[in-house]
Chain A
Amino acid sequence: MKRLALALGLPVVLFVVWFVASYGSESFYVPPLRRILGAFADTWTLERLRTDVLPSLGRLAVGYALAATLGIAVGVAIGAYPRLRAAAEPVLEFFRAIPPPVLVPVIMLFAGIGNGMKVIVIAVGCVWPVLLNTVEGIRAVDGVLSDTARAYGITGVARLRHLLLRGASPQIAAGLRQALSIAIILMVISEMFAASNGLGFAIVQFQRSFAIPEMWSGIILLGLLGFTLSMLFRFVERRALGWYNGLREAQRKGS
């Protein structure tokens, strides 16, 4: 109860401050919050959620899943083979250093402006944190544990499943968490460049047609969406990595 109050306290205060401070606002570009909330209810109807929010979420899901699969697969390979890592590391660092939004115009050139382009943009942009964290996670798998597995004949697929992936899972989760926020950003940006539906597209449309309260409401919706997804992620992570948190707790107490 106390924790809930603590977690909700600041958002409520901020909301109230915004509401009160903007109450008498005459500015066209910064309308009062009550008007934005009114527009929110009018704009984001079920129909609208279906035509704009669902396509966005679909592209996000596919792009993110692609990045996760590819990042983990390649990351495991690079992490497990030092030679491969030595060869691949400089290239990876280079690609990681490129700001992902820059990729949108480039990918548009060969992937067009359809769903494919947006999925590719999301996947290409958020594969790097997953990949690099997976590499680190695999490298950090304990040597004694690895020896134990070998001594007991745990090799091949079993080694991958029971040792490498599980051992690297805390770092993989960290990479996936970073990738999630990048994926949301890229989802919006790719839709702002060229699209016929989606959240990013809707927000740009509102702005261009001077529907300012609606534009603001779209931004609030995006914020809520990002928040919900990260909560969902934390929930899943806490369940999957229960052992890790327990282990760390035990080590803290022990030392």
Chain B
Amino acid sequence: MLDVRGLRKVYSAGNREVEAIKDLTFTVDAGQLVCLVGPSGCGKTTLLRCIAGLLAPTGGQVLVEGRPVAGPPPGMAVVFQEYGRSLFPWMSVRDNVELPLKQKKVPRDRRRQLVADAIGAVGLAGTEGAYPWQLSGGMQQRVAIARAVAYEPSILLMDEPFAAVDAQTRADLEDLVRALWQRLRMTILFVTHDIDEAVYLGQRVLMLSSSPTVVQAELSVDLPAVRDQLHTRADPRFTALRTRVYEQIQAARRGTAAGLSDRIDERLGVDSE
């Protein structure tokens, strides 16, 4: 489904070069919900923009459904962290959800159906005529999710979508994402810096190192498929998993995880030149 091979991204500003992503390789199978978690500033957003075809990588390749990504792939939808800046403020909720479908040349009746269904699915029925800025932050992010869902993507990218909403709203939105994922059977790649969120949501959690980024470790989440905020988070298995992720992230922050020593040596070698 999604295949990231040896991805590397170097930003150059003038003579200075900053290596944001060193070498990333991972795959996401169709229908999986995979969470990417890493310390802040680890190049998560850069990675996501490369996958979304919004940024050209310096090296390596991203394949979506076997085809290399050169621009935004047609079957992909994206939900950004900055909901306030990713919805068109001059359009109503309905028009925001509908515009991508118009671009996709979805016939009118089908479009109406998809828009109504998506807005209903995120619990926003009745707000179709409102402008996004008339809604609360959590509701705005629901609109963005509705837009993504209505687009009927085969893969959905979410870039720290709940980082800017309050805790209660966040819990509701997490459950919404899991419910939509189970109902619509799409592939979701969910980027977050929140360890609990990653474990709660994901089937798999990929932990990234700090920048320049590599995949530090991977964990498969063997929690039951039906999860809820109260019981799942109190489950000893959940606690154990989040502890393991936490350790890896801490190690990544220090840059001294076991099994990474060769990489460290290599980096020291570079530094001494």
Residues of chain B with a CB closer than 8 A to A151's CB: 52-54, 72, 76-78
Confirm or deny: B162 has a beta carbon within 8 angstroms of a beta carbon on chain A.
no
- When the two chains form their complex, are residues A152 and B103 in contact, meaning their CB atoms are under 8 A apart? yes
Q: Which of B79-87, B115-123, B172-180, B263-271 contacts A (4 or more CB under 8 A)?
A: B79-87
In the complex, the chain A residue whose C-beta lies closest to that of B136 is: A254
**Chain B's interface: helix, strand, loop or mixed, by majority?**
loop
Residues of chain A with a CB closer than 8 A to B76's CB: 151
Taking CB atoms and an 8 Å cut-off, the chain B residues in 59-77 that contact chain A are 71-72, 74, 76-77
A-B contact count (CB 8 A): 73
Residues of chain B with a CB closer than 8 A to A8's CB: none
Given A166-B90, A246-B134, check contact A154 B54 (CB 8 Å).
no
Confirm or deny: B131 has a beta carbon within 8 angstroms of a beta carbon on chain A.
yes
Q: Which of A110-118, A123-131, A142-150 contacts B (4 or more CB under 8 A)?
A: A142-150
A162 to B89, CA, bound (A): 11
In the complex, the chain B residue whose C-beta lies closest to that of A248 is: B133
Residues of chain B with a CB closer than 8 A to A247's CB: 89, 131, 133
- When the two chains form their complex, are residues A145 and B85 in contact, meaning their CB atoms are under 8 A apart? yes
- When the two chains form their complex, are residues B86 and A148 in contact, meaning their CB atoms are under 8 A apart? yes
A129 to B78, CA, bound (A): 37
> How many residues on B have C-beta within 8 angstroms of the other chain's C-beta atoms?
29
Residues of chain A with a CB closer than 8 A to B80's CB: 144, 147-148
A148 to B49, CA, bound (A): 11
- When the two chains form their complex, are residues A152 and B52 in contact, meaning their CB atoms are under 8 A apart? no
A151 to B76, CA, bound (A): 8
Residues of chain A with a CB closer than 8 A to B255's CB: none
Q: How far is the CB of A215 from chain B (nearest CB, A)?
A: 47
Q: How far is the CB of A192 from chain B (nearest CB, A)?
A: 42
A167 to B100, CA, bound (A): 17
Given A151-B77, A153-B72, check contact A162 B99 (CB 8 Å).
yes
A154 to B99, CA, bound (A): 8
A66 to B94, CA, bound (A): 35
Residues of chain B with a CB closer than 8 A to A166's CB: 88, 90
Q: How far is the CB of A10 from chain B (nearest CB, A)?
A: 35
- When the two chains form their complex, are residues B134 and A144 in contact, meaning their CB atoms are under 8 A apart? no
Residues of chain A with a CB closer than 8 A to B103's CB: 152-155, 158
Q: How far is the CB of B81 from chain A (nearest CB, A)?
A: 9
Contact of A147 among B54, B77, B104 (CB under 8 A): B54
- When the two chains form their complex, are residues A152 and B100 in contact, meaning their CB atoms are under 8 A apart? yes
Some 18 contacts from A to B, beta carbons below 8 A apart, are A144-B82, A145-B85, A147-B80, A150-B54, A150-B72, A151-B52, A151-B54, A151-B72, A152-B72, A152-B99, A152-B103, A153-B74, A158-B99, A158-B103, A243-B89, A243-B90, A247-B131, A250-B133
Known contacts A142-B85, A148-B80, A246-B134; 20 further A-B pairs (Cβ under 8 A): A144-B86, A145-B85, A145-B87, A147-B49, A147-B78, A148-B78, A150-B72, A151-B53, A151-B76, A152-B72, A152-B103, A153-B72, A153-B104, A154-B100, A155-B103, A158-B99, A162-B88, A244-B89, A247-B133, A250-B134
Interface on A for B, CB 8 Å cutoff? 142-145, 147-148, 150-155, 158, 162-163, 166-167, 169, 243-244, 246-247, 250-251
